[in-house]
Amino acid sequence: MLDHEKADKACKKIRSSLRRCSNSLWEVEKFEVTNNDSESYNSHEVISGLQGGSVRCVEPGTYTRLIRLPNTTVMSDTPAETSDLFSLAQNARGKVLIAGLGLGIAIDLIMQDKEVEHVTVIEISQEIIDLVGDHFKDKYKDRLTIINADILEWKAPKDAYYDYCWFDIWDNICTDNLKDMTKLKRKYAKKAERKGFWAEVECLRAKRRWG
For residue 193, what is the domain's CATH number? 3.40.50.150
59 & 117 share domain:
no
Residue 166 and residue 188 in one domain: yes
Q: Answer whether 142's CB lies under 8 Å from 75's CB.
A: no
Final residue of a structural domain among 55, 81, 107: 81
Q: Would you state the pLDDT for residue 57?
A: 76
Regarding whether 144 and 71 lie in a shared domain, the answer is no
Same domain, residue pair 38 and 124: no
Residue 129 and residue 66 share a domain: no
Same domain, 90 and 26: no
Q: What total number of domains does the chain contain? A: 2
The domain boundary, picked from 54, 81, 108, lies at: 81
Measured CA to CA, the distance from residue 210 to residue 78 in angstroms comes to 27
**Res. 95: pLDDT tops 50:** yes
Please check the confidence at residue 49 and state whether its pLDDT lies above 60: no
Give yes or no: residues 21 and 91 share one domain.
no
pTM: 0.89
Verify that 175 and 201 share a domain, yes or no: yes
- Same domain, yes or no, for 23 and 87? no
- Which residue segment(s) compose the domain that 195 sits in? 83-210
Check whether 180 has a pLDDT greater than 90: yes
Out of 21-25, 56-60, 72-76, 156-160, which region has the weakest mean confidence (pLDDT)?
Answer: 56-60
pLDDT(94) > 90: yes
Query: Do 190 and 112 fall into the same domain?
Result: yes
- For 13-39, write each residue's pLDDT tens digit: 777 777 788 998 999 999 999 998 888
Please identify, among 59, 81, 103, the residue that sits at the C-terminal boundary of a domain: 81
Q: Write out pLDDT tens, residues 57-67.
A: 788 999 999 99
Domain match, 54 and 114 both: no
Residue 96 shares a structural domain with residue 69? no
Average pLDDT, the chain: 89
pLDDT of residue 52 exceeding 60, the answer is no
